[in-house]
Structure 1
Amino acid sequence: MSVRIPMNILFVTARLPYPPIQGDRLRAYHQIRLLAQRHRITLVSPIDKGERRHLVHLERFCERIIPVEVSRARQLASLCRIPFSRLPAQTLYWFDARLADIVARETSKNDYDLAHVQLVRMAPVLSALNVRTRVLDLVDALSLNFSRRAERERPAVRALIRWEARRLGRYERSLVGAYDRVIVCSPLDQRAIGAAESIHVVPNGVDTSEFGYRQDLREWSSIVFSGRMAYFPNADGAVWFANEVFPLIKRSLPWARFRIVGADPPPRVRQLAEIPGVEITGYVPSVTEHLQRATLAVSPLLAGSGMQNKLLEAMACGTPVVATPRSTGGLAAQDGHHLMIAENASSFAEQVLRLLRDPGLRLWMGRNARRLVEERYSWELSVATLEKVYQGAMSAEYQKPAGTGRSRWTRRSVRRIPMASGQAGTRLSTP
């Protein structure tokens, strides 16, 4: 069967995919942007009151946008259900039954070819989807993320994080059979969920025009680490590098500088500015400029999961990278050719110093990294892979008897999900 072009796609996200400054938002934004060139997109997304001003940036891609205002008080109240539910806290907090009511009405009134749901947080909307083909993008294995976080957390909360990791793992595995297709961004996350043969990999990408290759702006002995600092693995990595690795570098190169670029740094990251040579920028309008100016970039993550956009962005700019093994997340990059991988503080400092002292090596590695990104990690290639997943899912679904694959939503339906077993003329729809 050939897939109808254009498809009518219902796209459900856990957060408004603008501004594209976080992993899931960035991924959804570029998927919608490129899918809209060939298909009709209706976006359903929770929003905060202050986010309505961002809708204009998505209207050029979406035929319709259905924003659903969420209540922070309601989200907090939902956490009271944790002791009485087998759903992970991530899902209980973010999923709003009112959004599912809206999706149920929308898919009953309109003929959609496919529904694309993003994140484990929105997974319970499955029961509301009166659509034959349902695809879930987990992005990464959140259970792996929480398991690794538990290793780095303070003892007071470590047991709680591990408990949530176990619940997430059971829930993620149950969703593999519930949706027609489940996708993640890397083979590492595919294996972590434990059903690799049933999960499809759709890698992240990078906008190679925004993150352009430049070598004429480079500063001397400037090290950059970019990422949203409210994200635990980023903050944890920044603190580790500043306290454990940077002093080793400064012994040999006292003039070296370490710049932490990213929004919402918590107090423990802001305090790093007291260390000589460390700069905290907070939010910046353009990360690209900092990556193009830096001598090299680091990704010192000791927790986290998925494919790190910060790596792809630095590599696209031709900025050589030193990273921990947990930063590379299934990236098809060769150690010593596209980037440097270091497992501990001493080896990390050694690799950074090696690059800082060798301009020829930096240039060679930066060119290799840029070439890899162009050949394998553009958003265009990523979305082409996504469309193939859609095609496979629809081909399989259209072989089913008529009437299968559709469900009737009630507010109790979420309990039935198994556990461990752009275009012009956009309309904003009011739910």
Structure 2
Amino acid sequence: MQPASLSVLTPTPVYPAHAGSKNYSLNAVQQLSHYYTVDSYCLATQPEAVDWGPLPQWCRDLRAFTPTKPARKGIDPPAVHLEFSQPMCDYLQQRWMRNLPDLLQLEGTTMAQYAPFARRLGLKAIICTIHQVGFVAQWRRLQREHHWKLRARRLAGLLSLWLYEQRALRQCDLLVTLSTTDQQTLNRWQPKLNVVTVPAGVDLSQWPLCRQSQAPQQVLFVGNYFHPPNVEGALWLAREVWPLVQAQLPEARLMLAGRSPTPEIQQLASATIQVPGTIDDLQAVYRQSQVVAAPIFWGSGVRIKILEGLATGLPLVTTTLAAEGLPLKHEEHALFAETPQTFAAALVRILNSPRLAEQLGEAGRQLIAQQYDWQAIGRQLAQHYQKLR
């Protein structure tokens, strides 16, 4: 008996997995390929240049399609319009009319726009992975704006996202959130939605311990700077927190690592702040550091970089919102701080206490091993998907 078939639609190529959502999608495809025959389709401005990496090992059919402007835009958010592809719809219609997949997995709420199209072709099991609840992220961003023009713009974006997500997510048979917080939010707004929580994971075989006893007094921030919350967090860390750390530990250094640093981030480079630009081997910078800093103040979902930081065995200083959806306990798995003064004090405390750094790092690594192993997460996804057939 042949395994059931699963088609996965993503808004971007998932390899290389340089962003949290890509990391999740890539690992999900790998794990689900143990249970299903997987076809994977993505959007790309240059489809012929897509690097598929290991995906051919796991997928039967791999295709990339150029985004196109929809015939009718309506009031949907700009991101929805940017992730529409008529060539992809044309290809899938031809393919699915011959051989309809058993399940369709849409990665991200903006990709839920394809659910009605799939339903018209006869698909009866449509899943949407909720990497973040868009209207929640916009609400939190709105609360941090002070200028009235920006607040008005954020409010318009919030309303557009709310209307779109309320409508589009109803078209899906199963919503998979990465945190119970997002699950509760969706259930509060639409109690009839079928929502489950399956966390993101980490492949510990790819993340060996990086804690080095001889590492310099370096604080590490990691982020993809295409994502605005990472930009704001890095700027806050460098401008508000770092001078306070330097006043107590003049020898300490801060590294702002990650892909595509913005001009604002690049201008932060100084004798005590490194901005190395895009780094493919993040494990190398983890080995050069003593503590990971993750100040994030808005957004939704689970931050994959926090899971990876914990997996390295380095101690973590973070904010409550950044760790949302994760069972981290203050003083056990990480230190939490919300203001420049308390965040700086937490960093100094760890840099001055190798014993505390070791205790936090070991507890964080153990938590990842116990609750965030990708093989176990793959089994959970397959069990939920089986109920749809």
Structure 2 CA distance for aligned equivalents of residues 387 and 140 of structure 1: 21
TM-score relative to the length of structure 2? 0.92
Q: 1:206 to 1:51 in 2, by over 3 A?
A: farther
- In structure 2, the partner of 1:376 is 371
Question: Does the 8 Å contact 2:105/2:129 carry over to 1?
Answer: yes
The corresponding residue for 1:112 is 101
Pairwise CA distance, 1:5:
6.6
- Which structure 2 residues correspond to residues 142-181 of structure 1 after superposition, within 5 A? 142-153=134-145, 155=147, 156-181=149-174
Q: Which segments of structure 1 move beyond 4 Å, counting only runs of 4 or more?
A: none
Amino acid at match of 2:34: Q
Amino acid at match of 2:301: G
Q: Match for 2:208: what amino acid?
A: G
Q: Which residue is equivalent to 1:128?
A: 117
Change in Cα spacing, 1:183 to 1:264, as seen in structure 2 (3 Å) is same
State the distance in 2 between where 1:219 and 1:38 align. Answer: 42
CA contact (8 A) 1:81 1:92 kept: no
Matching residue's letter, 2:350: L
Q: Is the 8 A contact 2:255 2:275 kept in 1?
A: yes
Distance 2:269 2:208 in 1: 29
Indicate if the aligned counterparts of 1:6 and 1:40 stay in contact, CA closer than 8 A.
yes
What's the counterpart of residue 352 of structure 2? 357
Q: 1:240 aligns with which of 226, 231, 236?
A: 236
How do 1:11-410 residues align onto structure 2 when only pairs under 5 Å count? Answer: 11-49=8-46, 52-70=49-67, 74-75=68-69, 85-129=74-118, 130-153=122-145, 155=147, 156-193=149-186, 194-195=189-190, 198-216=194-212, 218-274=214-270, 276-394=271-389
User: What is the DSSP-based 3-state SS (H/G/I as helix, E as strand, rest coil) of the residue aligned with 1:65?
Assistant: strand
The structure, 1 or 2, with the larger RCO (C-alpha pairs under 8 Å, 6+ apart) is 1
Distance 1:268 1:151, change over 3 A: farther
Alpha-carbon distance change, 37 to 187 in structure 1, aligned in 2, over 3 angstroms? same
Cα distance, 1:343–1:65 mapped onto 2, change above 3 Å: same
Structure 1 residues 160-215: Cα deviation after superposition (integer angstroms, max 9, x where no partner):
22211222123223334321101111122223333477321121111211211133
The percentage of aligned residue pairs carrying the same residue is 24
Is the CA contact (8 Å cut-off) linking 2:16 and 2:53 kept in structure 1?
no
Structure 2: unaligned runs, 5 residues or longer: none
> Which AA in structure 1 matches 2:347?
V
Question: Residues 299-355 of structure 1: CA distance to partner in whole angstroms, max 9, x if unpaired?
Answer: 011122211111111100001000011100211111110111111111111111111
Aligned-partner Cα distance in 1 for 2:86–2:363:
48
**How much has 1:53 moved relative to structure 2?**
4.3
- Alpha-carbon separation, structure 1, partners of 2:21 and 2:230: 15
Q: Conserved in 2, the CA contact under 8 Å of 1:142 and 1:168?
A: yes
Paired residues of 2:47 and 2:64 also in contact (CA < 8 A): no
Deviates more, 1:31-40 or 1:248-257: 31-40
Deviation track 1:27-68 (CA, whole Å, cap 9, x = no partner) reads 110111111123211112112216634025321111111221
Residues 5 and 38 in structure 1, CA contact (< 8 A), matched pair in contact too? no
Higher mean C-alpha deviation, range 352-361 or range 128-137? 128-137
Matched positions, count: 382
Aligned partners of 1:347, 1:198: CA distance in 2, in Å?
40
Alpha-carbon separation, structure 1, partners of 2:237 and 2:47: 35
TM value normalised by structure 1: 0.84
SS of aligned partner of 1:259: strand
Structure 1, gaps ≥5 residues long:
395-431
Computed over aligned residues only, the root mean square deviation of the Cα atoms, in angstroms, reads 2.0
